[in-house]
A and B are shown apart, each in its own frame.
Chain A
Amino acid sequence: MELNRSKGFIISSSVLIVMFIIASVVMLGIIGFVLFLKVHIYNIAQYEYSYNNAQLALMALLSSTYDGERVSNLIGECYAAGDCSDIKQVLEQKLEALVESKCYKLSISSTVLASADCEPTQYVSTARIALPYKSGSSSSSVEVLKLVND
């Protein structure tokens, strides 16, 4: 009789412990899933906004003018000439105003035209820049301008 009672007690205690573990796992699972969903939703909305802004920043930069000349033309001309140091400051001033994070890098191929003191990696936007005609050539070439910002 005594043996049966202690057996029953052990079985009940074991069931209770197993249920407690299952309940904890289920609750942790629900909380984890909710957190995952929240992070996922935030990332989608924030990424769309920031990526959109990266593209707008590049578009605004190229549409703007300096000394009566479109910046897109200035970049094409200086890149073809192999020296963009003259407009580096202008580009940096404009990008400083356009990029909220203040962390950006503007480049064509491996040539960095303007950059801040950081290494941006998150949002990449590109635009094609027409280079001026070279003497003796019947066609102009196009290079891809890349803006990376955080």
Chain B
Amino acid sequence: MYILLGFFTIVVIVAIIIVLLRGILDVRNYIEENRLLIDTTNLAQVLLSSDKLCYADESGIHRGVFYEEKLEAAEDDPNVVFSDVYNPEVIYSLYVEDKEDDNSWYVSDLEETIIEKTFPIAIRYTNGETHVGMMTIKIGEPYGIE
């Protein structure tokens, strides 16, 4: 009986250690997954204030209002944006879509993505009209390389 008791104690201790380690690993992976979402949100915040994309006049940069001319320039040469908004740990691409019209702009495109998130924006045209739209950010590998 005492041998059985000793054996049971060892089994219980090992089982608790395994459950604990699995739990720690599980939470670690989960933190990593959610860090991706937070990183994407932070990247969007920077892009929404970038003078390489946003409309600007004498009063300053209009946050969240992308300008048609700048979007076209960024589509022709994505480095205009990537050299301004840059994170060595993140590779990303940008897709802007006018929701009131059929216009859209691709600032590069990633084939393999690990997360894709959309953010509401406004798009100002050269004729002064401003439409509502969506910005899609795709994050690709290699993500988080230090």
Which residues of chain A have a CB within 8 Å of any CB of chain B? 8-9, 12-13, 15-16, 19-20, 23, 26-27, 30-31, 33-34, 37-38, 41-42, 44-46, 48-49, 52-53, 56-57, 59-61, 63-65, 68, 70, 93-94, 97-100
In chain B, what residue has the closest Cβ to A96?
A: B99
Determine the distance from Cα of A94 to Cα of B98 in the docked complex, in whole angstroms: 11
Whether A60 contacts B19 in the complex (CB less than 8 A), given A44-B34, A48-B38, comes out as no
User: Is A97's CB under 8 angstroms from B1's CB?
Assistant: no
* Residue-wise interface mask of B (124-141) relative to A, using a CB-CB cutoff of 8 A (1 in contact, 0 not): 100011111110000000
User: Is A45's CB under 8 angstroms from B37's CB?
Assistant: yes
User: Is A56's CB under 8 angstroms from B16's CB?
Assistant: no
User: Is A41's CB under 8 angstroms from B34's CB?
Assistant: yes
Whether A64 contacts B128 in the complex (CB less than 8 A), given A12-B1, A31-B19, A45-B34, comes out as no
User: Is B132's CB under 8 angstroms from A34's CB?
Assistant: no
User: Is A12's CB under 8 angstroms from B19's CB?
Assistant: no
A interface secondary structure, majority: helix
User: Is A53's CB under 8 angstroms from B120's CB?
Assistant: yes
Determine whether B48 belongs to the interface, using a CB cutoff of 8 Å to chain A: yes
User: Is B16's CB under 8 angstroms from A27's CB?
Assistant: yes
In chain A, what residue has the closest Cβ to B35?
A: A45
Determine the distance from Cα of A44 to Cα of B132 in the docked complex, in whole angstroms: 27
Determine the distance from Cα of A9 to Cα of B19 in the docked complex, in whole angstroms: 30
Task: Report the minimal beta-carbon distance from A113 to chain B, rounded to whole angstroms.
Answer: 15
User: Is B23's CB under 8 angstroms from A34's CB?
Assistant: yes
Determine whether B70 belongs to the interface, using a CB cutoff of 8 Å to chain A: no
Determine the distance from Cα of A27 to Cα of B4 in the docked complex, in whole angstroms: 21
In chain B, what residue has the closest Cβ to A70?
A: B130
* Residue-wise interface mask of B (16-48) relative to A, using a CB-CB cutoff of 8 A (1 in contact, 0 not): 100110010011001100110110110011001
Which residues from chain B contact A68 at a C-beta distance below 8 Å? 128-129
User: Is A23's CB under 8 angstroms from B15's CB?
Assistant: yes
Which residues from chain B contact A42 at a C-beta distance below 8 Å? 30, 34
